[in-house]
A and B are shown apart, each in its own frame.
Chain A
């Protein structure tokens, strides 16, 4: 069975500092991987996804994630965070045509 583990429930960081949100998954077959972001009192929005091809994927607002098959990880990184990045971030995995399995979420809190 598939599962997703987000290793940190809360990550406090100062503005303009780098950040890494960690995600590990378990699956015996090929998977597709996603990061979603949830701003306060809103629904989830897709941040970036890995389906195939280059293992490094980027979002339009400076986040990137790298698919590492040998370590079964899909960590999310940003070199310099802004106050507006404060949100909850969810890692998710699915097999082809399957359902999404979500991690528990990581609350990113950016302080001035």
Chain B
């Protein structure tokens, strides 16, 4: 049981390049989330998916797109990377039972845009 996995772990992009961050969970969770973490700002929600086939914007969606490929996988795409998108990106998932309001996090992707 791997939990939430993310690829790649590290990535360096030039301004204007595109890339997709991959996330998968094996806990049969319905909801999945993408956050970015910047110093002194905590984690900010980029996009989320409450269930397979649905996606919604979070607090900071500009410059990003997402795809909920199936129940397990939720990818984040940067179409034209900018230096302001240098950050650590975390994927998370959550079950729907009352006891499962907590989210489970992946190990993160460190992205640098030069």
Residues of A within 8 A of B (CB): 4, 6, 9, 32, 34, 36, 42-46, 49, 51, 90, 94, 96, 99-100, 102-105
For A102, give its contact among B40, B43, B98 (CB under 8 Å): B43
A-B contact pairs, 17 of them (CB 8 A): A34-B102, A42-B107, A43-B4, A43-B106, A43-B107, A46-B102, A46-B104, A49-B102, A51-B98, A51-B99, A90-B43, A99-B48, A99-B58, A100-B45, A100-B103, A102-B42, A105-B40
Q: A43-B90, A104-B41 are in contact. Are A49 and B105 (CB under 8 A)?
A: no
CA distance A43 to B93 in the complex (A): 13
Residues 26 to 62 of chain B near chain A (Cβ within 8 Å): 33, 40-45, 48, 58
Q: A44-B90, A99-B33, A99-B48 are in contact. Are A49 and B42 (CB under 8 A)?
A: no
Residues of B within 8 A of A (CB): 4, 33, 40-45, 48, 58, 90, 92, 98-99, 101-108
The reply to whether A43 and B58 contact each other, CB–CB distance below 8 Å, is no
- Interface of A, secondary structure class, is strand
CA distance A46 to B108 in the complex (A): 15
CA distance A105 to B38 in the complex (A): 10
The reply to whether B48 and A44 contact each other, CB–CB distance below 8 Å, is no
Report chain A residues within 8 Å CB of B105.
36, 43-45
Report chain B residues within 8 Å CB of A32.
101
CA distance A105 to B92 in the complex (A): 18
Q: With A99-B33, A102-B43 given, can you name 8 additional A-B contacts, CB distance below 8 Å?
A: A9-B40, A43-B106, A46-B104, A51-B98, A90-B42, A99-B45, A99-B48, A102-B42
Report chain A residues within 8 Å CB of B90.
43-44
CA distance A4 to B44 in the complex (A): 12
The reply to whether A104 and B42 contact each other, CB–CB distance below 8 Å, is yes
Closest to B44 in A: A102
Report chain B residues within 8 Å CB of A102.
42-44
Report chain B residues within 8 Å CB of A4.
42
The 10 closest A-B pairs by CB, nearest first: A102-B42, A43-B105, A44-B105, A102-B43, A104-B42, A43-B107, A46-B102, A32-B101, A105-B42, A43-B108
